[in-house]
Amino acid sequence: MSASLKDIERQARELVAEERAKLAETLIESLHSPLADIEAAWAKEIEDRVTAFDRGEMQAYAAEDVFAEARRLTR
């Protein structure tokens, strides 16, 4: 562990419990930020596809047909 990390850890331990909890929450959220970017991209993709479907630009298939074809392909 680097000296600066040790200093940060020491300083964090000196915080009151509420401040340590907020710091922990912020650090954990920072680990998930790439996931947020991916989720945002998927949300936009879904919105774009729904819009295209509503405009009649995208073909739809009945679920039972899709599942029947999947079963046929996996045999």
Tens digit of each residue's pLDDT (9 = 90 or more) over 13-56: 999 999 999 999 999 988 877 788 888 899 999 999 999 999 99
Domains in the chain: how many in total? 2
- CA separation for the pair 54, 15 (Å, rounded): 53
Q: How many CB atoms lie within 10 A of CB 57?
A: 9
Q: Do residue 27 and residue 37 come from a single domain?
A: no
Q: Which domain holds residue 24?
A: 1-31
Tens digit of each residue's pLDDT (9 = 90 or more) over 46-72: 999 999 999 999 989 999 999 999 999
Q: Do residue 47 and residue 65 come from a single domain?
A: yes
Q: Do residue 40 and residue 22 come from a single domain?
A: no
Q: Hey, which bits of 1-75 come out as E strands?
A: none
Q: Do residue 53 and residue 24 come from a single domain?
A: no
Enter the pTM of the model: 0.47
Residue closest to 45 by CA, chosen among 63, 37, 61, 59: 37
Q: Do residue 26 and residue 37 come from a single domain?
A: no
